[in-house]
A and B are shown apart, each in its own frame.
Chain A
Amino acid sequence: MMAPFDWTGIGFYLVNLLLGIGFGVALERGGFGDSRRIAAQFYLTDLTVLKVMFTAIVVAMLMTLWAQALGFLDPARVWIDRTYLASGSLGGFLLGMGMVVGGYCPGTSLVASSNLKIDGFFFIGGLLFGITVFGESVNRFWDFFQQDGFRGMFTLDQWLHTTKGMTAVVVTLISLAAFWGSERLERLQPAPAGGRRVPGAGIKAGAVILLLAAFGLILVPQPGLSDRLVRLGPELDRTLSRREVQIDPAELVDLMHNNQVRLMLLDVRDEADFNLFHLLDAEHRGPGDLTTEFARSIDPEELVVVMSNDEVRATAVWKALRADGVRGAYILAGGINQWLDLYGGLADPPALPVSTAAGTTAGMNRETAEPLRYVFPAALGDRTEIAWPDPHHMHLPERTYTPKAKVLKPVTLAGGGCG
């Protein structure tokens, strides 16, 4: 079994509690229970913040990349913060200002408060206030928050058009240079009462180890999509054979009418079939468009439903998406053909099964493993009511289904209330 692991019950609480204890000890021993030390970073008198932060980033980065390269850790299941350039930069800017004015950041204020620092309590009071104000005002700049500068899962190696290994070398070298500069800067200050701490032989040896670890990553590549597919294959096949991710057409209709769900409909059929008929707002993606880059651009909150005429092509795409870490990916059960079995007759004029249709417009005579079994009077695209069957205005066939899609708690829209 490959890391990371799915924790449940007491183990879930215990492992996170222990990680938190380690985090708290590291922050306290780094000296971050003291607002003065954090503020000193911004007057260049004590650069502990920079040293601790970047040492931690480099160590964690190298260990994670090595664990992935050696096959102990599944990269698709390691969280990578999504890139929102606009809200992320503005938020960072405000947080930096808050750190100088208030002397802490959210994590360090918890540590300070646990050691009874009264300024830490006040900082936490401010946090609660600021977070509440944000929650109450975010609807006013929702598009800025959600969309401006959104790049999905976008990492430095993609930005630099290079490998993770090369990027790790660059990050390590820049960090070591920053440490060297920090030591020089601190030497300009009068020595503190306890005497100055000069990096000893141990620290220098550590720097060499980091460099070697970084350069080593150039030689050992990160696993690619095919490696991950092979590794995850058995697990994905189990999920498929239990039909845990094939969602019923009736469930999809309900999802299409649930405005709290961010739904992405991914139509992976041939373009000709897509032009004949597709679901409302479905995106057409050919085999060449379904890259790892595309998978990584998908927002983790999005629910992706992949569809082909039956399930064959959709299943292959689903596997690739899952291997690329898109955990919210599903398959339309029975594909577009089953959709038309159910709803095709409601269209005006109705979609006709191939066998009964006589010589109408269709591209159905192609040899394909997974043909569209219906014909249409014209290339309708989504200009037909069955592209978005509306239970309020159409008599949809009664159908019960087992919900498969994991969606957020539905929001009840109270009359007159606004967010």
Chain B
Amino acid sequence: MNRNRLSTSPWNPYLAGAFLGVVLFAAFFLTGHGLGASGGIQRLVAGGMDLVVPDHVRTSPYLTPYSTGPLRHWIIPLIAGVVVGGFLSGKLGGRCRLETLRGPRIGNGTRWTMAFIGGSLAGFGARMARGCTSGQALTGGASLAVGSWAFMLAAFAGGYLVAWFVRKLWNEEAR
């Protein structure tokens, strides 16, 4: 029974966290770099732009380094793995189906709009901070970087500050 639950349902958060910690350590140990996500999407964006508007990318000191052989960077196979691993795990647990996950008081249209807006904020913020929850909070947190801990505090602060204003998105009744 235990084994069956382990292969299908979400794990105890502490167990999932310990497993994630071992994966992060394995990244440090095997490769010397940590984990990441937004940096990979940045490279795909810069690489894509390099195909369409190469002159523009090459005159941008920010974009140029990201557009240099974007597919040869470690983060690309890593985020490909995230997609594969996430899919396999969800498929095994029967959670892989076409659906919109949202709070009970909003429709799909609102959820999609807010997901796009939230994604934009997160994307802009992640690049501003040179990393997201993966590259800054987890990787920098575990390597004790002061900036990453400041990032984490700021992220929680931003989240809690806005939470009250968007409570209708997620909660059952007005609080």
> Which residues 170-184 of A have a CB within 8 angstroms of B?
171, 179
**A281–B144 Cα gap in the complex (Å)?**
33
Option from A25, A77, A126, A171 in Cβ contact (under 8 Å) with B144: A171
Given contacts A19-B78, A28-B90, A122-B112, contact A154 B134 (CB under 8 A): no
- Contact in complex: B55, A414 (CB < 8 Å): yes
**A242–B11 Cα gap in the complex (Å)?**
52
B12-29: contact bitstring with A at CB < 8 Å (1 yes, 0 no)? Answer: 111111111111111111
- CB contacts (< 8 Å) of B142 on chain A: these are 56-57, 60-61, 64
> Separation in Å of the A76 CB from the closest CB of chain B?
10
- Contact in complex: B101, A156 (CB < 8 Å): no
- CB contacts (< 8 Å) of B147 on chain A: these are 81-85, 88, 151, 154
Say whether chain B's binding surface is mostly helix, strand, loop, or mixed.
helix
Name the interface size band of chain B: 35 or more
> Separation in Å of the B155 CB from the closest CB of chain A?
4
**A110–B62 Cα gap in the complex (Å)?**
24
Given contacts A33-B90, A88-B136, contact A102 B117 (CB under 8 A): yes
B78-101: contact bitstring with A at CB < 8 Å (1 yes, 0 no)? Answer: 111111111111110101111111
Name the interface size band of chain A: 35 or more
Given contacts A59-B22, A115-B87, contact A106 B122 (CB under 8 A): yes
- Contact in complex: B16, A24 (CB < 8 Å): no
- Contact in complex: A79, B34 (CB < 8 Å): yes
> Separation in Å of the B56 CB from the closest CB of chain A?
7
- Contact in complex: B171, A43 (CB < 8 Å): yes
- Contact in complex: A102, B18 (CB < 8 Å): no
Option from A23, A81, A103 in Cβ contact (under 8 Å) with B20: A23
- Contact in complex: A4, B77 (CB < 8 Å): no
- CB contacts (< 8 Å) of B102 on chain A: these are 35-36, 119
- CB contacts (< 8 Å) of B86 on chain A: these are 24-25, 27-28, 33, 110-112, 114-115
- CB contacts (< 8 Å) of A359 on chain B: these are none
> Separation in Å of the A383 CB from the closest CB of chain B?
30
- CB contacts (< 8 Å) of A179 on chain B: these are 14
B59 is an interface residue with CB less than 8 A from chain A: yes
> Separation in Å of the A268 CB from the closest CB of chain B?
28
A129 is an interface residue with CB less than 8 A from chain B: yes
Report how many A-B pairs have Cβ atoms within 8 Å: 568
Say whether chain A's binding surface is mostly helix, strand, loop, or mixed.
helix
> Separation in Å of the A328 CB from the closest CB of chain B?
13
Option from A18, A134, A159 in Cβ contact (under 8 Å) with B124: A134
In this complex, what residue of A is CB-closest to B141? A57
- Contact in complex: B30, A97 (CB < 8 Å): no
- Contact in complex: B170, A411 (CB < 8 Å): no
Option from B19, B41, B136, B138 in Cβ contact (under 8 Å) with A92: B136
B128-166: contact bitstring with A at CB < 8 Å (1 yes, 0 no)? Answer: 111111111111111111111111111111111111001
- Contact in complex: B30, A128 (CB < 8 Å): no
Option from B12, B42, B133 in Cβ contact (under 8 Å) with A197: B12
- CB contacts (< 8 Å) of B35 on chain A: these are 19, 23, 107
- CB contacts (< 8 Å) of A109 on chain B: these are 119
Q: Which among B64, B68, B97 has the highest number of chain A CB atoms within 10 Å?
A: B64
Option from B91, B128, B169 in Cβ contact (under 8 Å) with A87: B128
- CB contacts (< 8 Å) of A22 on chain B: these are 19, 22-23, 26, 81, 85
A287 is an interface residue with CB less than 8 A from chain B: no
- Contact in complex: A20, B31 (CB < 8 Å): no
A324 is an interface residue with CB less than 8 A from chain B: no
A31 is an interface residue with CB less than 8 A from chain B: yes
A376 is an interface residue with CB less than 8 A from chain B: no
A274 is an interface residue with CB less than 8 A from chain B: no
- CB contacts (< 8 Å) of B153 on chain A: these are 89, 92
Can you name 14 extra interface pairs (CB under 8 A) apart from A3-B29, A23-B35, A127-B120? A24-B88, A35-B102, A53-B17, A60-B22, A82-B147, A91-B151, A96-B161, A97-B159, A101-B166, A102-B121, A106-B132, A110-B83, A411-B59, A417-B56
CB pairs A–B below 8 angstroms (20 shown): A4-B30, A23-B78, A28-B86, A28-B90, A42-B162, A55-B21, A56-B17, A56-B24, A59-B18, A59-B22, A88-B154, A91-B129, A101-B118, A107-B35, A116-B97, A116-B99, A122-B112, A123-B115, A127-B126, A129-B119
